[in-house]
Structures are given as structure tokens and as C-alpha cells.
């Protein structure tokens, strides 16, 4: 199995780092316990690790694309303390109805649309049916389902609310786990099963 053609798409806020409404200051970024070790385990499994994140705060004027640079530098540095790395950041700065041009637009990248995942497919030549999507909202799950990826809802961030929403709407992620730590265990086990088959 060529694991280099498999990626894990990770939502950022509420999945890797603690949820902060419109995170604008690197000092407010704090990793969810175990997240760095979990991502390091994904790295060790040979899969590509990508963040895919709606950042409509840019469209709304709360921050700029340039403001994301130190935020992602902080995230990168915090992960590196456990030997973990992210291969790519995919960001949607748009909002369909709020903000100002050029960001006020009904784009193809804002989750639940799968545009960020499709960008990863083209950049890394991925087999999306072999890929994984991990997030704390149904928009993450819907984006993953749109491309046939395996979807995992975590209970951190807004995940508990999303889990209740799943019951109401009948949405079925492939797995629901307490955090990125258990999500990584699920991914690792699924990869081992594929190798055996």
C-alpha cells in the first residue's frame, strides 16, 4: 500500500487546538491535550497531514490572511515540540453573505463544500476514498462525505453539539471519538486493516 497517497484532513479550531471564537492572537492558541503526539503518530504512519479550516473572520474583517502567518507559526512550533508536523494548511477566507469583496463570495472552498480537500487531492495525487477527515462540526463531516473519505467526528470543540445534531439529522460519521487522540487510534487501526487486506 502506498500510504503517501493517503491524507488526513484535520479541522483546526476545536480539533487540534482549543476552540476560540475567531482566533486572532497566537497567544490564544492552545493545543488540545495529546494533539501533538497524535499528529506525530500520523506522521509516523506515513500519511499526509493537512489542516483544512474555514476562516471567515478574514471576510468579516477580524483578521487578515497575513495575521494567520504568526498563528500558524505558533501552531507549527507547538506541534514540533512532540516531533509533529503538518504538511499543508488549506484555508477558506470567504463568507457567502458577510464581509467585503474579494472575500464576500459564494466560493467552492468553504466547508461543507469540499474545495480544500480537492485542492489537496490535486497537490498530493490523493486517493480520496482512502483518506480521512477529522473535525468537530458537521460541516467537516459533510465535506469528507462529499469526496468519499472516512469521516471522524471528535467531541472536543463543538463536537458534543454536533453529535447531538447527528442524532437529529441522521448524519452518520464513520466514527465518533472523544478527541484527536482516539481519532488517530481509529485511523491507525483502519490503516492496519487495509494492509492486512
Is 137 within 8 Å of 112 (Cβ atoms)?
A: no
Q: Look at the chain and count its residues.
A: 197
- CA-CA distance, 156 to 31, in Å (whole number)? 11
- CA-CA distance, 78 to 69, in Å (whole number)? 14
3-class DSSP state for residue 66?
A: coil
Which helix (H) or strand (E) is 91 found in, with range?
strand 88-92
| Phi/psi at 174 (5° precision) | -70, -25
- DSSP lists the bridge partners of residue 132 as 8, 150
Is 49 within 8 Å of 90 (Cβ atoms)?
A: no
Would you please indicate which residues are annotated as catalytic (active-site) residues?
11, 13
Is 132 within 8 Å of 187 (Cβ atoms)?
A: yes
Amino acid at each position: 500500500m502506498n500510504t503517501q497517497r493517503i491524507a488526513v484532513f484535520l479541522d483546526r479550531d476545536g480539533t487540534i487546538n482549543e476552540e476560540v471564537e475567531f482566533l486572532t492572537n497566537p497567544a490564544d492558541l492552545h493545543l488540545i491535550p495529546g494533539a501533538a503526539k497524535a499528529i506525530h503518530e500520523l506522521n509516523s504512519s506515513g500519511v499526509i497531514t493537512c489542516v483544512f479550516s474555514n476562516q471567515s473572520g478574514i471576510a468579516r474583517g477580524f483578521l487578515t490572511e497575513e495575521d494567520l502567518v504568526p498563528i500558524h507559526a505558533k501552531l507549527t512550533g507547538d506541534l514540533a515540540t512532540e516531533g509533529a508536523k503538518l504538511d499543508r494548511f488549506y484555508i477558506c477566507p470567504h463568507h457567502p453573505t458577510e464581509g467585503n469583496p474579494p472575500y464576500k463570495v459564494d466560493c467552492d472552498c468553504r466547508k461543507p463544500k469540499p474545495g480544500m480537500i480537492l485542492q489537496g487531492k490535486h497537490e498530493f495525487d490523493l486517493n480520496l476514498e482512502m483518506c480521512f477527515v477529522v473535525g468537530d462540526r458537521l460541516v467537516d463531516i459533510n465535506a469528507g462525505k462529499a469526496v468519499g473519505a472516512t469521516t471522524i467526528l471528535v467531541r472536543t470543540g463543538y463536537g458534543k453539539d454536533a453529535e447531538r445534531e447527528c442524532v437529529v439529522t441522521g448524519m452518520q460519521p464513520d466514527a465518533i471519538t472523544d478527541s484527536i487522540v482516539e481519532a488517530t487510534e481509529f485511523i491507525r487501526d483502519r490503516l492496519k486493516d487495509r494492509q492486512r487486506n
